Structure formats: C-alpha cells, structure tokens
Amino acid sequence: MSGSRFLEVSPPRLPGWVARYVAARPGAVRAVVTSTGFDLVGDDGSLASLGLLEAGGWDADVPEAAVEGASQVAPEPLAARLADEAGRSRTLLVCLVRRGGWSVGVVRDGRVLTGKTGRRYVQGTTAAGGWSQQRFARRRGGQTDKLADDASSALTRMMAQAPGATGVVVGGDRRLAESVLAGTPAHALPVLGPIEVGEPRRADLDAAAARVLSVRVTVHDAP
C-alpha cells in the first residue's frame, strides 16, 4: 500500500536504518545526493529523503563522486558520513514558542546547557463578551508582546552565559519565534527548523536538544 511517513533517526541508528531500508526493497536502490543529505530512489518507485536540520558543510564532506544530483553513489558510505555530520558537536539555541507558553535554551551534544520555560495567557482569536474588535485586538497584541519580551530577555541572558552558538532552532509558532529572536542577538544567526512541538514545556526543550541531532527522513512508499 502506498503512503508517506516522517521520522527522525538519531546518528548512531542511521547506518543500520539505511541498510535495512535498502535490503527491504524488492529492486535496486540508488542514492542521489542533495544539499542537506541524500535521497534513496528505488526501482519500485519508492523514495526516502534524508536530510539534516542544519546543512553545515555537508557538500564539502561527501565523496568526490557524490556531487549534488549524482545517481551512482553507494548508500552505505553516505549514511555513515551523514551520521557523522548530524552528530557533529556544535552549540545551538532553541526557541520554542506558542501563544500561552515558551521554552528557550542553549543546547550542545544532545543536552540542554541552560534553559528557561515560562507561561503567559494570550486570548484566543475571537472577541467575546461584547468587546469591540479594536479593544480585543489591542489587549491580545499586548499579551503577545509581553510573552515575546519575556522569552527574548531569557534567551539574551543565556547567550551571554554560553557564547559560540552557530544557529537557532525554532519550533511552534514560527511568527512568534521570529518576534522573540528579533529582540536578541540571535536574530543574526541562521534559523533552523521549524520542529513540531505542542504547548512548549521544559520536557519539550530537553527533547529538542536530542532532536536537533537527528536526521529527518520522509519515506514515500511505492505506488
């Protein structure tokens, strides 16, 4: 049965996952290099796209024959190299925010170095109780601004404690995350993601520290 699914594979598990995926296909599978990873294209019409959340240096690290768009590259060596790149040690910021809550932090090697989570009520999208639309919009806008200010202040303090971040991973409400970053030195860093999260809590920040290392895989089964 055809279909699509998304998963995140940790670097240590990636070579084994690729080997099992290739072995399970009824026909040949070729690897096609992309700017963030590579595709596994099966003769049966299946496709698995593997990519990094952060594409730093991938093109420079692949074998000479594996130029972008090449189709005669063995999947196994590419999987090992992609796993090495995904697990490369670097410091990243994480900004998870939705209306009503936020969680920001500095992460490295799959763990949170420093983090903070806060909650703030923001009204829904429609006015209630007979309020004028203008009054409702002003109040809601003020609540949203305060939420973004709180998260921005926390993130700025953390950046001073843990310098050297090379990017910022955003999750939740992308527009709100951009408002948070605009008030910090992080606005000049590359933005990675977004990653999907619910209402941000500290557990989501801890999970994000590991998730940023994972290779993002989208599998499209054969028709």
pLDDT at 48: 97
Domains of the chain: 4-88 (no CATH), 91-211 (3.30.420.60)
CA dihedral angle for residue 185, residue 187, residue 191, residue 194, rounded to 10 degrees = 100
pLDDT at 148: 87
d(CA 28, CA 26): 7
pLDDT digits (tens, 9 = 90+) for 166-210: 999 999 998 889 989 997 889 999 999 889 898 899 999 999 999
Nearest to 214 by CA among 22, 61, 51: 51
User: What's the pTM value of the predicted model, to 2 decimals?
Assistant: 0.80
Do 56 and 166 meet the contact criterion of CB atoms below 8 Å apart?
Answer: yes
Range from 39-48, 64-73, 93-102, 181-190 carrying the lowest mean pLDDT: 64-73
pLDDT digits (tens, 9 = 90+) for 142-161: 456 788 889 999 999 988 87
